[in-house]
């Protein structure tokens, strides 16, 4: 589990790019939603990688909370 967490944190630059959101903010969102921080970060990174340029388009369209919904499943 610790090794997986380190892999996720090594990919943190991807998550930090997401609308300027910090991993700390993502962790707080996860905690508030009752989801493990590791799971929320993995989901957010997966979302970012899956959507690539489409994610940036969503930000331009004012949908900047999409990564939070994807990360928390809510």
> Which pLDDT does position 41 carry in this prediction?
72
Q: What pLDDT score does 7 carry?
A: 58
Identify the residue with better confidence: 5 or 47.
Answer: 47
Q: What is the pLDDT of residues 30-58, one digit of tens each?
A: 777 788 877 877 776 777 677 666 655 66
Q: Nearest 5°: CA angle at 24, between 19 and 25?
A: 50
Distances (CA, A) of 16 to 12, 24, 47, 69: 6, 10, 13, 16
pTM: 0.43
Q: How many domains does the chain have?
A: 1
Torsion angle, CA of 23/27/28/29, rounded to 10 degrees?
Answer: 100
Expressed as residue numbers, the domain containing 49 is 2-72
Tell me what pLDDT residue 35 has.
Answer: 80
Closest CA to 15 of 72, 73, 74, 71: 71
């Amino acid at each position: 589990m610790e090794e997986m967490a380190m892999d996720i944190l090594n990919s943190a630059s991807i998550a930090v790019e997401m609308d300027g959101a910090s991993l700390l903010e993502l962790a707080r969102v996860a905690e508030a939603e009752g989801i493990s921080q590791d799971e929320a970060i993995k989901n957010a990174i997966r979302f970012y990688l899956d959507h690539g340029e489409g994610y940036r388009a969503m930000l331009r369209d004012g949908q900047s909370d999409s990564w939070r919904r994807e990360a928390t499943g809510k």
